[in-house]
């Protein structure tokens, strides 16, 4: 079949859409607005299979909503700062901007070829001055509110990339980017106070329930990690200040037989005795080489050293030894714990290693943990617990002990979160400079608004190589500036921001991309936001999606927005894998998207990825056949060539049977797409194509207006997945270009009622029942219905069936045995 030339159609319609501005969204278009957002790409080189799937999914919704009469905004831009550009610049001795903008050009061509209904007039690059100036401005708003601050601390450090990483960028102890083992380093760094919003980030998830994938909500909940319990104060012998510990089980306080302090918590260094100090310091050096994930893993053998001091249990005055141990983390709770080895396995493992006492305070009926080595965590009777003895439920025990602690002034109920503040400074070049000037007299001074943006200095090649401090620190002229407050000698901050800062607000910028008076124009954000449908990978469940939610809440509190959540609905597309494995260079199982597009055309590839399975599932390229997708598209295209009824012919004069098929397809496909079941919708289009071909060739012929109706809808439905062939079909059918501007039909109710016909049931040749059945009833279903009928049962009177004769759908005849 040579009727459809994919390459020619691609070139033709790309030009048409661009000149016609088909997909440009207008703020003053009064129709109801819909905002469809794809996670914006990093310009890594060219479009790849992962993009091919993700962007195909988002386009389905953008396109159906447009045809359904919404004013759709579907923007695109580039997450353009980041390490790969910088590494390439070092390799090629050039500026990261060159690599970045060159990649954007290449990738943009591919995006355009891919036929997405994107509004290119709103395109943005996060590395443009016009963009990062506002990233800096937003940083300063946060700074003003005390939501951006600097502190010393042990941070995750990637020895290869020579930069710090946020907790979220460390995966199982490894750098998210390069796979190196992450270590700890003490540095003074910038943080965003996301923990101020921990509770709200949790609470507002109720607005997202049922609209975001459950697993993303679960991951966020888990990441925020709310814990309820108590702060308990233990006095330390020979020290004025008590130590406060966080526990989720204050009811086990009588079983606390030692205390453990994180080795890297400042407290450990403060309280360690002189005799114990040398061993402690050696131990600390060892611990610094490991990371939090290793330290908490259950397989990890817990290590520790005594600190040579005692703590006093506030409820019974008992003296307990204080140890330092690596399974306690400095960044959680207070960095110190009361150990209850009988009822906490970690504590029990530690106690058994170092011969520390174990005391059971809840008798669950299980063996004593002191001898079994297995901590008991269930309910039971409180023992050895003074005022709790006799109780047997955790809730009242907790209540009673907290009341006592509060009355004595030695503790209180508490809530903690696992979420840490967001570490945002990076010691790399290709990012947004932090707009702060450090003055020896005035401290941290914001760069005045009229001096934004703080532009990156012109560094390239070797000057960007990682040295453990930011490359910006070597740009002396750039760095040395007068203090904006006192005019004295001062220095710019030389760190740049985590690129997740850039991506925490880009979706607001799209609403007024050229706005020069602020990050975005509030009235335009109000027109379009929140985003109706966000589409992107589940790998962003905790980082980007949590940060963007946080930014939205802060911007709301700054009075710049009036809603709580940025993304009303979220769709996570799956991954494209090959031969059962993620595509990777090392496995050599990568599939070159460009080659596939050249061979089968854009439409066939897009249809293939959408048809492969539910959008959220991973799809295995090895199981798919773009060649058969192409053949299907050619069959569909040929229908449009065959249609003989004139444009505008009244379909109601057409064949009723085919019309019913078409209208059932309209109803089902509309619903399937709305429900995100895109692959099933494709299957329905295929059925419609087959039914229409059969009608043309064997029943009604090409001149029937019902055929035209069927083919017109086929083209519209296909335009969601295969826009080029759909445009070509629409043109052949005489429709006004573009098909994207056509009106999505509604199914006529009268054509949706299922056909019924009368089926006669005979027993021994006598008619016993007349049943209404569907004309395509199966043999099994017909027999089942016949035998369920009471009159038939009475006639059979319990006799077995010897034989049945069926002439479907008209008759079932039953011959009973004796």
> Does 292 participate in binding ligand ANZ (rule CB under 6 A)?
no
Contacted entry of ligand ANZ, Zn ion, none for residue 328, CB cut-off 5 to 8 Å set by kind: ligand ANZ
Which residue lies nearer to ligand ANZ by CB, 226 or 799? Answer: 226
Contacted entry of ligand ANZ, Zn ion, none for residue 439, CB cut-off 5 to 8 Å set by kind: Zn ion
> Does 333 participate in binding ligand ANZ (rule CB under 6 A)?
yes
Distance in angstroms (rounded) separating the CA atoms of residues 508 and 131: 12
Residues 312, 442, 473, 680: which binds Zn ion (CB under 5 A)? 442
Instruction: Indicate the SS3 state at residue 156.
Output: strand
Neighbours of 431 (CB within 10 A): 31
Which residue lies nearer to ligand ANZ by CB, 247 or 529? Answer: 247
Residue (of 69, 41, 71) closest to 55 by Cα position: 41
What mask, x for binding Zn ion by CB under 5 A, covers residues 397 to 436? ----------------------------------------
Which residue lies nearer to ligand ANZ by CB, 344 or 502? Answer: 344
Residues 207, 227, 657, 793: which binds ligand ANZ (CB under 6 A)? 227
Interface of this chain with ligand ANZ, residues 260 to 279, rule: CB under 6 A: 262
> Does 247 participate in binding ligand ANZ (rule CB under 6 A)?
yes
We find the least distance from the C-beta atom of residue 452 to Zn ion, in angstroms, to be: 19
Residue (of 114, 116, 2, 46) closest to 602 by Cα position: 114
Contacted entry of ligand ANZ, Zn ion, none for residue 340, CB cut-off 5 to 8 Å set by kind: ligand ANZ
Distance in angstroms (rounded) separating the CA atoms of residues 146 and 431: 22
CA 10 → CA 115, 238, 685, distances in Å?
Answer: 8, 80, 22
Interface stretch with ligand ANZ, choices 11-19, 340-348, 602-610, 669-677 (CB under 6 A): 340-348
Q: What b-and-e string marks burial along 574-608, b requiring 16 or more CB atoms within 10 Å of the CB?
A: bbbbbeeeebeeeeebebebeebbeebbbbbbbbb
Residue with tokens 């233990």: 234
> Does 335 participate in binding ligand ANZ (rule CB under 6 A)?
yes
**Kind and range of the H or E run holding 626:** helix 626-642
Residues 135, 169, 252, 470: which binds ligand ANZ (CB under 6 A)? 252
Distance in angstroms (rounded) separating the CA atoms of residues 262 and 333: 11
> Does 739 participate in binding ligand ANZ (rule CB under 6 A)?
no
Structure tokens at 30: 């009064």
Residues 9/724, Cβ–Cβ less than 8 Å? yes
Contacted entry of ligand ANZ, Zn ion, none for residue 332, CB cut-off 5 to 8 Å set by kind: ligand ANZ
Distance in angstroms (rounded) separating the CA atoms of residues 700 and 714: 18
Cis amide prior to 738 (ω within 30 degrees)? yes
**289 labeled binding residue:** no
> Does 793 participate in binding ligand ANZ (rule CB under 6 A)?
no
Structure tokens at 426: 């990076």
Structure tokens at 780: 């099994």
At what angle are helices 705-718 and 723-732 packed, to 10 degrees? Answer: 150
Residues 97, 208, 307, 483: which binds Zn ion (CB under 5 A)? 483
What mask, x for binding ligand ANZ by CB under 6 A, covers residues 490 to 529? ----------------------------------------
Neighbours of 390 (CB within 10 A): 9
Which residue lies nearer to ligand ANZ by CB, 184 or 343? Answer: 343
3-state SS of 535-566 is EEEHHHCCCHHHHHHHHHHHHHHCCCCCCCCC
Residue with tokens 């759709």: 72
Which residue lies nearer to ligand ANZ by CB, 42 or 332? Answer: 332
Which residue lies nearer to ligand ANZ by CB, 198 or 792? Answer: 198
Contacted entry of Zn ion, ligand ANZ, none for residue 249, CB cut-off 5 to 8 Å set by kind: ligand ANZ
Distance in angstroms (rounded) separating the CA atoms of residues 209 and 570: 11
Contacted entry of Zn ion, ligand ANZ, none for residue 669, CB cut-off 5 to 8 Å set by kind: none
Number of residues assigned to the chain: 818
> Does 438 participate in binding Zn ion (rule CB under 5 A)?
no
Which residue lies nearer to ligand ANZ by CB, 219 or 474? Answer: 219
Note the residues at the interface with Zn ion (CB under 5 A). 439, 441-442, 483, 485-486
| Residues annotated in a binding site for ATP | 585
Note the residues at the interface with ligand ANZ (CB under 6 A). 227, 246-249, 252, 262, 328-329, 332-333, 335, 337-338, 340, 343-344
């Amino acid at each position: 079949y040579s009727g459809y030339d994919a390459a020619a159609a691609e070139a033709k319609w790309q030009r048409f859409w661009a000149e016609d501005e088909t997909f440009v969204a207008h703020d003053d278009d009064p129709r109801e607005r819909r905002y469809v957002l794809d996670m914006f790409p990093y310009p890594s080189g060219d479009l790849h299979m992962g993009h091919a799937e993700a962007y195909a999914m988002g386009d389905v919704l953008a396109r159906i909503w447009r045809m359904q009469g919404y004013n759709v905004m579907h923007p695109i831009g580039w997450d353009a700062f980041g390490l790969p550009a910088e590494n390439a610049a070092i390799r090629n001795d050039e500026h990261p901007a060159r690599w970045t903008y060159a990649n954007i050009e290449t990738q943009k061509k591919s995006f355009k070829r891919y036929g997405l209904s994107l509004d290119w007039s709103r395109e943005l690059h996060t590395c443009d001055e016009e963009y990062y100036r506002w990233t800096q401005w937003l940083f300063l708003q946060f700074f003003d509110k005390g939501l951006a601050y600097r502190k010393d601390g042990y941070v995750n450090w990637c020895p290869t990339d020579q930069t710090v990483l946020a907790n979220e960028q460390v995966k199982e102890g490894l750098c998210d980017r390069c796979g190196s083992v992450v270590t700890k380093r003490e540095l003074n760094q910038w943080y965003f106070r996301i923990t101020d919003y921990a509770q709200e980030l949790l609470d507002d998830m109720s607005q997202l329930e049922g609209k975001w994938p459950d697993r993303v909500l679960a991951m966020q909940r888990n990441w925020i990690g709310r814990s309820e319990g108590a702060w308990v104060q233990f006095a330390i012998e020979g020290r004025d200040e008590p130590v406060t510990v966080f526990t989720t089980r204050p009811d086990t306080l009588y079983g606390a037989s030692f205390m453990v302090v994180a080795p890297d918590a400042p407290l450990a260094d403060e309280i360690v005795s002189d005799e114990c100090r040398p061993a402690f310091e050696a131990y600390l050096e060892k611990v610094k080489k490991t990371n939090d994930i290793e330290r908490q893993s259950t397989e990890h053998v817990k290590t520790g050293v005594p600190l040579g001091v005692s703590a006093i249990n506030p409820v019974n005055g008992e003296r307990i030894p204080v140890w330092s141990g690596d399974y306690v983390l400095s960044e959680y709770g207070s960095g110190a714990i009361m150990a209850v080895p009988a009822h906490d396995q970690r504590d029990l493992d530690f106690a058994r290693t170092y011969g520390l006492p174990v005391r059971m305070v809840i008798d669950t009926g299980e063996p004593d943990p002191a001898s079994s080595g297995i901590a008991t965590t269930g309910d039971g009777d409180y023992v050895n617990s003074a005022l709790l003895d006799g109780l047997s439920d955790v809730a009242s025990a907790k209540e009673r002990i907290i009341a006592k602690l509060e009355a004595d002034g030695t503790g209180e109920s508490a809530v903690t979160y696992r979420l840490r503040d967001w570490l945002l400074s990076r010691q790399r070049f290709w990012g947004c400079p932090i707009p702060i000037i450090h003055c020896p007299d005035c401290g941290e001074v914001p760069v005045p608004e009229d001096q934004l943006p703080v532009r990156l200095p012109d560094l390239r090649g070797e000057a960007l190589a990682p040295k453990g401090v930011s490359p910006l620190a070597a740009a002396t002229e750039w760095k040395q500036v007068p203090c904006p407050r006192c005019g004295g000698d001062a220095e710019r901050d030389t760190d740049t921001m985590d690129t997740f800062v850039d991506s925490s607000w880009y979706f607001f910028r799209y609403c007024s991309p050229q706005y020069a008076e602020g990050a975005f124009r509030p009235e335009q954000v109000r027109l379009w936001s929140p985003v109706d449908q966000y589409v992107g990978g589940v790998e962003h469940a905790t980082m980007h999606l949590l940060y963007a939610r946080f930014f939205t809440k802060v911007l709301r509190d700054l009075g710049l927005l009036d809603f709580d959540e940025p993304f009303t609905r979220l769709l996570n597309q799956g991954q494209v894998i090959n031969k059962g494995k993620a595509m990777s260079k090392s496995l050599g199982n990568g599939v070159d998207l460009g080659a596939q597009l050249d061979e089968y055309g854009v439409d066939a590839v897009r249809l293939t990825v959408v048809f492969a399975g539910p959008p959220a599932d991973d799809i295995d390229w090895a199981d798919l056949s773009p060649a058969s997708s192409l053949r299907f598209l050619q069959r569909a295209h040929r229908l449009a060539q065959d249609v003989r009824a004139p444009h505008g012919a009244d379909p109601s004069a057409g064949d009723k049977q085919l019309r019913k098929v078409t209208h059932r397809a309209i109803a089902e496909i509309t619903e399937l797409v709305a429900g995100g079941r895109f692959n099933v919708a494709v299957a329905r289009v295929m059925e419609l194509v087959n039914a229409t071909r059969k009608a043309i060739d064997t029943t009604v012929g090409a001149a029937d207006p019902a055929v035209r109706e069927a083919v017109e809808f086929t083209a519209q439905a296909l335009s969601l997945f295969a826009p080029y062939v759909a445009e070509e079909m629409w043109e052949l059918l005489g429709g006004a270009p573009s098909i994207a501007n056509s009106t999505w039909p509604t199914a006529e109710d009268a054509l949706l009622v299922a056909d019924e016909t009368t089926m006669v049931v005979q027993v021994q040749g006598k008619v016993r029942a007349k049943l209404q059945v569907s004309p395509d009833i199966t043999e099994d279903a017909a027999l089942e219905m016949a035998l369920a009928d009471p009159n038939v049962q009475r006639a059979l009177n319990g006799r077995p069936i010897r034989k049945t004769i069926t002439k479907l759908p008209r008759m079932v005849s039953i011959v009973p045995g004796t």
